[in-house]
Every structure is written in structure tokens, then in C-alpha cells.
Chain A
């Protein structure tokens, strides 16, 4: 029913309309003829005006407003006096020793005259004194034996039968990372592997649950933590790629990668090392060493790419001929590199271990171009300067002494550890540690005469050259069934810890006894003596 609100309509028509509506369908007497019972009929519009609503008129009022006029006034100001002054910071004076005051001469001379006799007497007495022979002070509680502190593993990796191929401690010494892969696979494998880290300083450490796990598309062969960033680490893969991860970003840990270009290695990468950049010593670049004979230096450029900045290639014809080596077969043969160690005294000097069993002394500054057919965006150079006498099999690990500039160790598959001096080709001593392969050897960061070796018979051997030069001082069994121990690393911050990874997929953190962590008197001299005694 439509109600049209018509203004001014009075109620008279309304009631009539209402009546008409009430008697709608039945009595339509108003029409001229009576329609049939089922015929359509149109009625007039019925409107029902409101009885309670009154007429609404429009009320209007006019109002206006106007802002008052703005008062303005003008005034001018002029500076009459001004003064110029300059301020300059002074270059800070470099702190230096104050210049020697010469006018103190007479009093200084008198003083020295007075004390010289006494001091000389004491110096001589000291030199001949045996008063302190064998006197040793123990400041810290002594630990008598080597014990296993933690046994860490990652069950999914163990389930796949993966081995621990590399361990690394981070720069703060509280996090240990391990890389999973396989060392006995001969073919191109595409199985997924892992890199796991455990934070040992955290309470509630669960040995089966790493603090961070990174999934990697290919087997990882080696691992190295960044020297100053506690969460960055680099790894070399079986496929020849080099990747850098940031474990502080759990959603996407991959920071840089080399990708698979012409520049990348074509063989497994056996070791990666972080090096300070030559001009900016707080920035670091990566060096990778692989079985294809290339030693490559990578730098991170934008968008997560590692770019080749310099490279070296080893070729059999370019090896220095100071040592007689087995004659290489015809044609250019690449010499596969399996291990690298940098000297702590000369940052451009490094030692490479090779598949042929002979360590090579190399330099980053070598300028001679390498004879190689491998394509590369950066010209490759031949780094080798000196060849050392070979082992009976490939060298798997080299380590330069942090206390002596010329000494380094190499361990190979013949079960021997050779102690070399950079100055001569023949090793100073050769120690047989095992009848099986030796996979890793490392100098201790605190004791000049101690080193540790990981053997294929499942034990970690600690050697103290001061006590015995023939057999290990301590030999700890890491695996029950004699499966090999593949890698080990000392912790430089917490010097009583040693981490070792084995073929069962576990990493054991050993706590060393005090004799391995405290430097005795005059060990550095003893090391010097050792270095020079055999040179004759």
C-alpha cells in the first residue's frame, strides 16, 4: 500500500478512501457495470494520510559571520654590531713516549751507578741458580685425564648413514658446528645433507637436538666459521660449490653462494679458509681448495653471489723440481689439492697438501701464469715455490705451527705424520701413528709441542713432543667399532676443549687434561731446538 505524503491533504478524503479500501474486493458498486467474478478491475489510488503527523513547514533563519579585519603593523630591525669568530678542532696528538729528558742526566747517571752493581749481582746469581728447579705452581684445579664432555649427533643425518666430514668452533668458542657428508662415496651424489650447530654454553643442551640445522642440497665436505662474526660459516660441497650461511637467520640461512659457473670447482672442495682482505683487514674473503687442482679466492658481491677475485691452479709441469717426484703421465695433469694451511707468521705463505702425497709451499703473491686449460674469468697463477718430500699416499691434512714460523705437520693415508721445516725438503721427523689412514692433524693453540691426530682406527691421539717423540701421550677411543675419526679442531677460546667428528655421525667434545692446556716453562725454546737439531 503506497502512502504518499502530500502536504496540505486533509483527513476528509482519507476516511472515504479508507472505506473504499475496506470494502474492496466484494462490493464494487461504484463502477458503471458490474464485472464478472474473475475479472480484473482497477481501483483508484488509495492514500492514507497520517493522522498524527502534522504539517511540517520549513523554518529558515539566515545568519552570517565575518572575520574581523586583521591588524598589521610593520617594524624593521638592523644589526648594528657584529663580531666574527672561528672554531677549529685540533688534530689529536698521537700518544707517544715523551721525549727523553736529557737534563736528567746527572741524577739518572747517579742512580744507575748506585743500582748497577746490585742488579748485576742478581742477574748473575739468577743465571746460575738452581733454586727453582722442578718447582711448579698449580693455580687451577688439575684435571688428570681426557674425558668426553658431550656426545652430539643429529639422528636424521645418522639415519641416512652420513659421516661427519668437518667440525669448526666459532669465534667466541661457545658454538661447535659440524658438516655431514660422505667421505667414501666415489660418485656424484645428490643426497641431501646437513650442517648442524650446537651452542655448548646454553643450559639444557640436548645432544640430539642441534640449536640450528641447515639443509644443504649436496654433501658438505668441509666447514669453517668466520673469524669475527659468530654466526657466519662457510662450507664446501661435493659438487664444487662454496656456500656461506648465517645461522642467526633461521628462515633463510644462505648468505652467499658461488653457484655453478665456469669459475667454480669441478671437483669436491676439500677445505675452505677465511682470509683477511689485503687492504681492509676487517673484511674477509674465502679461499677454497679442491681436487681439481684449483685454489680460488672468493669475495662476496651484492645479491648473495660469491665472485672470483683471484685464483691459482696447480699443474704437474709447473711444480718446482727440487724434489724428485714420480714422473707424471703424459699431458697436462692437474695436481689435486686436498688440504691447506696458512702460516701464522707470514699471511701470504701457505702450504698445500696434494693427492700425490707431497706438500707444496705456496705464496699468494706468486706471479707466474698457470698452464691450464680450465676456463676462468680471472687469470690463474701457479703458486708453488717449493716441493717437499712425499708421503706414501695422499696427504689429507696439513697444519702450520702457531709458535714457530718454519714448522708444519702433514698427515697422510700412509698412517704417518711428518714434521717439516719450510727450509728443507726432507721431513725433520716422521712418526707412524696408525696402520690405517690419518685424516686430520692439528697443532695445539696453547702448547708449542703438542698436536692431535685423528686416525682411521677410531681414535684421537695426542702427542707431546716433550714427553715422547715416538708414541702418543694419550690415545682416546672415539668409536667402539673402529670406524674412522674424520676431523678434529681445538677450541682457541676455551683451550681445554677438542672436538672430533667420526664416521658414525657423532661429534665428541673432549675435555683435555691440564697437562695439555698449560704451557710449561721454555717450551718455545724446546721447539726451536727441535727445529734446528735435525736440520744438520
Chain B
């Protein structure tokens, strides 16, 4: 049922967002347009556009090295936090976490 799915989507995102250190969560579709987010508009649009391009590049890099291989997960670690991208044919799940050190 559509209602159930919708509730499930919201619940899953809430669970992820409530993990320790998570700053923001967002779901982006295949064109790079964000469809769910916990951050403000401008930040979301920026992350979505940039990370979508980077994920496509990473995916093509992996496929070029070995055509039988494919990208399963992308992590970017920076001085301030870590960005995790879980890619799929239709969607991207982006989570930004502030890891404990």
C-alpha cells in the first residue's frame, strides 16, 4: 500500500538520521534532484548536484578498470566530517556524519 511505503520511507530516514554524529541525510534521484532531505534547501541542492556528479565519475572509474565490477559505496573523508553515498540505479542516499576522534 502506498501509505505503508510512505511511512516506511520516513521511518527509515529517521532511523538513519538519529545515528550518532549524523549531521544530515538526503535522497537524490537519478537526475540529481533531491527528493528527501533533512538539511536546508540551499545546502541540499549543493550537496546533491556535486555528489551526483562525483558518484557518476566514481562509478565509471570502477567500470573502466574492470567492466565486471561496479560501485557499491562511496565515502569521502574530510577534515571536518565524512560523507557517505550509497548509489543505486534510480537513487542515491547521502549521509553526512561527524565522526568521533
Assess whether B12 is in contact with A132, with CB atoms less than 8 Å apart: no
Which of B5, B34, B80 has the most C-beta atoms of chain A within 10 angstroms of its own C-beta? B5
Q: Mark B55-98, 1 if CB is under 8 A from A, else 0.
A: 00000000000000000110101011010101010110101011
Assess whether B6 is in contact with A114, with CB atoms less than 8 Å apart: no
Given contacts A123-B97, A127-B100, A129-B99, contact A108 B16 (CB under 8 A): no
Assess whether A126 is in contact with B79, with CB atoms less than 8 Å apart: no
Chain B, residue nearest A128 (CB): B100
Q: Which residues between 106 and 121 of chain A lie within 8 Å of chain B, taking CB atoms?
A: 106-109, 111-116, 118-120
Assess whether B9 is in contact with A122, with CB atoms less than 8 Å apart: no
Assess whether A521 is in contact with B79, with CB atoms less than 8 Å apart: yes
Hey, which chain A residues are within 8 Å of B16, CB to CB?
Answer: 116, 119-120, 123
Hey, which chain A residues are within 8 Å of B34, CB to CB?
Answer: 97
For the complex, is A65 an interface residue (Cβ under 8 Å from B)?
A: no
CB distance from A108 to the nearest CB of B (A): 5
Given contacts A115-B93, A123-B16, A519-B79, contact A100 B2 (CB under 8 A): no
Distance, CA A353 to CA B100, complexed state (A): 39
For the complex, is B27 an interface residue (Cβ under 8 Å from A)?
A: yes
For the complex, is B35 an interface residue (Cβ under 8 Å from A)?
A: yes
For the complex, is A102 an interface residue (Cβ under 8 Å from B)?
A: yes
CB distance from A123 to the nearest CB of B (A): 5
Assess whether B19 is in contact with A120, with CB atoms less than 8 Å apart: yes
Distance, CA A111 to CA B73, complexed state (A): 14
Hey, which chain B residues are within 8 Å of A115, CB to CB?
Answer: 86, 88, 93
Distance, CA A492 to CA B85, complexed state (A): 34
Hey, which chain B residues are within 8 Å of A122, CB to CB?
Answer: 73, 75, 84
CB distance from B47 to the nearest CB of A (A): 13
Distance, CA A114 to CA B82, complexed state (A): 21
Distance, CA A118 to CA B12, complexed state (A): 13
Q: Mark A219-235, 1 if CB is under 8 A from B, else 0.
A: 00000000000000000
CB distance from A271 to the nearest CB of B (A): 34
Chain A, residue nearest B33 (CB): A98
Assess whether A108 is in contact with B27, with CB atoms less than 8 Å apart: yes
Assess whether B2 is in contact with A103, with CB atoms less than 8 Å apart: yes
Assess whether B13 is in contact with A112, with CB atoms less than 8 Å apart: yes
Chain A, residue nearest B3 (CB): A105
Given contacts A123-B16, A123-B95, contact A101 B35 (CB under 8 A): yes
Chain B, residue nearest A98 (CB): B33
Chain A, residue nearest B41 (CB): A97
Hey, which chain A residues are within 8 Å of B88, CB to CB?
Answer: 111, 114-115
Distance, CA A509 to CA B81, complexed state (A): 34
CB distance from A127 to the nearest CB of B (A): 5
Assess whether B41 is in contact with A123, with CB atoms less than 8 Å apart: no
Assess whether B22 is in contact with A96, with CB atoms less than 8 Å apart: no
Hey, which chain B residues are within 8 Å of A120, CB to CB?
Answer: 15-16, 19
For the complex, is A104 an interface residue (Cβ under 8 Å from B)?
A: yes
Determine the main DSSP class of A at the interface with B: helix
Given contacts A118-B73, A123-B95, A129-B99, contact A112 B12 (CB under 8 A): yes
Hey, which chain B residues are within 8 Å of A96, CB to CB?
Answer: 41
Hey, which chain B residues are within 8 Å of A108, CB to CB?
Answer: 5, 9, 27, 35, 91
Contact of A105 among B2, B29, B77 (CB under 8 A): B2
For the complex, is A520 an interface residue (Cβ under 8 Å from B)?
A: yes
Hey, which chain B residues are within 8 Å of A129, CB to CB?
Answer: 99
Q: Mark B16-52, 1 if CB is under 8 A from A, else 0.
A: 1001111000010100011111000100110000000
Distance, CA A39 to CA B67, complexed state (A): 142
Hey, which chain A residues are within 8 Å of B5, CB to CB?
Answer: 105-106, 108-109
Assess whether A116 is in contact with B35, with CB atoms less than 8 Å apart: no
CB distance from A514 to the nearest CB of B (A): 14
Contact of B9 among A112, A114, A126 (CB under 8 A): A112
For the complex, is A203 an interface residue (Cβ under 8 Å from B)?
A: no
Hey, which chain B residues are within 8 Å of A327, CB to CB?
Answer: none
For the complex, is A522 an interface residue (Cβ under 8 Å from B)?
A: yes
Which of B15, B29, B79 has the most C-beta atoms of chain A within 10 angstroms of its own C-beta? B79
Given contacts A104-B35, A122-B75, A127-B20, contact A133 B101 (CB under 8 A): yes
Given contacts A100-B36, A102-B6, A127-B100, contact A113 B86 (CB under 8 A): no
Q: Which residues between 480 and 533 of chain A lie within 8 Å of chain B, taking CB atoms?
A: 519-522
Contact of B84 among A103, A104, A119, A133 (CB under 8 A): A119
Hey, which chain B residues are within 8 Å of A132, CB to CB?
Answer: 77, 99, 101
Hey, which chain B residues are within 8 Å of A520, CB to CB?
Answer: 79
Distance, CA A137 to CA B37, complexed state (A): 31
CB distance from A310 to the nearest CB of B (A): 33
Assess whether A100 is in contact with B35, with CB atoms less than 8 Å apart: yes
CB distance from A409 to the nearest CB of B (A): 25
Distance, CA A334 to CA B27, complexed state (A): 60
By Cβ-Cβ distance, the 3 closest A-B pairs, closest first, are: A105-B5, A115-B86, A109-B5
Enumerate chain B interface residues (CB-CB to A < 8 A).
Answer: 2, 5-6, 8-9, 12-13, 15-16, 19-22, 27, 29, 33-37, 41, 44-45, 72-73, 75, 77, 79-80, 82, 84, 86, 88, 90-91, 93, 95, 97-101
Instruction: Show 9 A/B contacts (Cβ-Cβ < 8 Å), sorted by A.
Output: A97-B34, A97-B45, A105-B6, A109-B5, A112-B27, A118-B73, A127-B99, A137-B79, A521-B101
Q: A111-B88, A116-B15, A522-B80 are in contact. List 8 more A-B contacts (CB 8 A).
A: A98-B35, A109-B8, A111-B91, A118-B72, A120-B16, A520-B79, A521-B80, A522-B101
